[in-house]
Chain A
Amino acid sequence: MNTQFYKRKERLNLFQKLFTKVDKTDLKNTQDSTPLMCPSCNTPISQYDLKVHLSVCPNCNFHFSLGVQERIAQLVDEKSFKELYRSAKSNKINDFPEYQKKIAKAQDSTGLQEAVTTGIAEINGKTVALAIMDARFIMGSMGQIVGEKITRLIEVADKKKYPLIILSASGGARMQEGILSLFQMSKTASALARFDEHGGLYISVLTHPTTGGVSASFAMLGDIIIAEPKALIGFAGRRVIEKTMNEQLPEAFQKSEFLLEKGFIDAIVHRKDLKTTLSNLILMHKVSS
């Protein structure tokens, strides 16, 4: 009874917060711009509609990729997010052709330093270690800095006994950093093994898209694995599989709903319910501060 009430109240708050956030200038800007096409159902959606609906397609429920800033606004208590390792950058990490330019461009367009943002935040008053990946930053790919930031965050969660929440959005390991990117998979998985052994709670949230070396490492290792609706989740790329199999794959292949059916995730949770779900799950594990 109490949880039900709490859930509804939380949902109401979230919507109120979002409506108040869309101020007049913002509204004007978004109304003027051209509508976006939903990549899932091809329906045009105005940017305003998208914003009001938490970047979820009102027609088919496809959850668009969210930027880190929007995600923080939706998910954690106001002003509670304290970023860790913000200054860690991949600039000058190697001299792979065009890589430095690519990083600078991603930094410019997203306002972020890297594809993952890590920090400590509160979710309904409970402290958590939180990592949020942003698919706009070089496909959310995992290079050495991404792997190191995630590993450091796992180690902090382990030491401080915070629940760990990672929202994945990634095409996989970062090609430009080669073999060192690949070994970030074993690094993050090793850190999670320790965290697990010490009794830490890790909730993995898979968002669109979570594939390759990220799905084959920390993203699939949650005590609880949640996915947003219709997110692309898998190991090998669709084109590669179609080429090997020499046949077309069904539309639903490698989508959240497919993974739920096959038994690889625990639940699909709509964005509007995510905060309440996470907060309840943390309560059920009694590991919060």
Chain B
Amino acid sequence: MTQKNSAWQRVLNARKTDRPKALDLIPYLFDEFFELSGDRAYGDDKAIVSGLAFFEGIPVTVLAQSKGRNLEENMACHFGMAHPEGYRKAMRLAKQAEKFNRPIVCIVDTAGAFPGKGAEERGQAEAIASSLKLFSSIKVPVITFVLSEGGSGGALALSVADRLYMLENAIYSILSPEGFASILWKDESRAQEAAELMECTAYDLYAKGIIDKIIMEPTEGFENNKSFVITAMKNEIRNDLSALRKLKTSTLLDQRYKKFRDIGVKI
């Protein structure tokens, strides 16, 4: 695979306002999507849209990080940055999916978990930690697509999956290029420089063995040809469901463990 764009160009692509969001894709990827809400403890977080649907006749649970398509939606979903109740809703529905033996499809698209007073008071760290732990051992297939932005622990919480994909112009990083520049050089305006250093593109993550495959985007841009990407995503979901649903639960879990166990250097 070739990589023509600079990392910064991809950051800009990933953040384009007209780039399709989870809510734009769900009706095309699935049939009869029925939204399920709330964490049963505190509230409902619009930064994670979740529910039940059919994928080509197979019932699935959908957990999608959702950025708004206009200011009003963005105010409601905090620009796609989830609070603890969002992660707890996802965990509740993951356990439900396990109970009814439904595969899970996740969409990741967030700059990060919400950094705020309420989020801290309600245990943001605990919510993310528990998600990581839960998804590592949930007994149904989990498939995750990183749509545009995969920011920090907030994105990781929905990334512990049997198959992890990134769209060609998506980025995935330990923190935003601005945050990185601000910590490293105390200068947010050097974000572009930071992006090049950070190895945050789909190509970088593929080279490091973190993601399984890059979902290619059309030359005219994702926003101008949605169906190109939707077809590719559906092909992966179809193949994966067919392969993963055949596996014994213990094999599925062993493979998932190994996948995440093997990331990074060994001693």
Contact = CB atoms under 8 A, between A and B. Distances in A.
A184 B263 CA distance: 8
Interface string A127-158: 00000000000000000110111011000000
B129 A179 contact: no
Nearest to A173: B174
A216 B264 contact: no
Q: Which range contains the number of B residues in contact with the other chain?
A: 35 or more
A127 B122 CA distance: 35
A247 to B, nearest CB: 8
Chain A interface size range? 35 or more
Given A149-B267, A236-B124, A262-B121, A175 B257 contact: no
Given A145-B265, A145-B267, A186 B136 contact: yes
Given A179-B208, A235-B128, A186 B260 contact: yes
Contact of B116 (A97, A151, A190, A241): A241
Nearest to A254: B120
A148 B265 contact: yes
B145 interface: no
A62 B32 CA distance: 56
Which of A147, A180, A182, A262 gathers the greatest number of chain B CB atoms within 10 Å? A182
Given A88-B267, A93-B265, A245 B116 contact: yes
Nearest to A89: B267
B12 interface: no
Contacts of B175: 175
A186 B160 CA distance: 7
B125 A185 contact: no
Interface string B203-221: 0110010100000000000
Contacts of B136: 186, 189-190, 193
B35 interface: no
B264 A186 contact: no
Contacts of B222: none
Given A216-B128, A244-B116, A190 B160 contact: yes
B174 A175 contact: yes
A148 B264 contact: yes
Interface string A227-253: 000000111110011001100010001
Given A190-B257, A234-B120, A240 B115 contact: yes
Given A220-B130, A234-B124, 7 more contacts: A93-B265, A179-B172, A183-B156, A189-B132, A235-B113, A236-B120, A254-B120
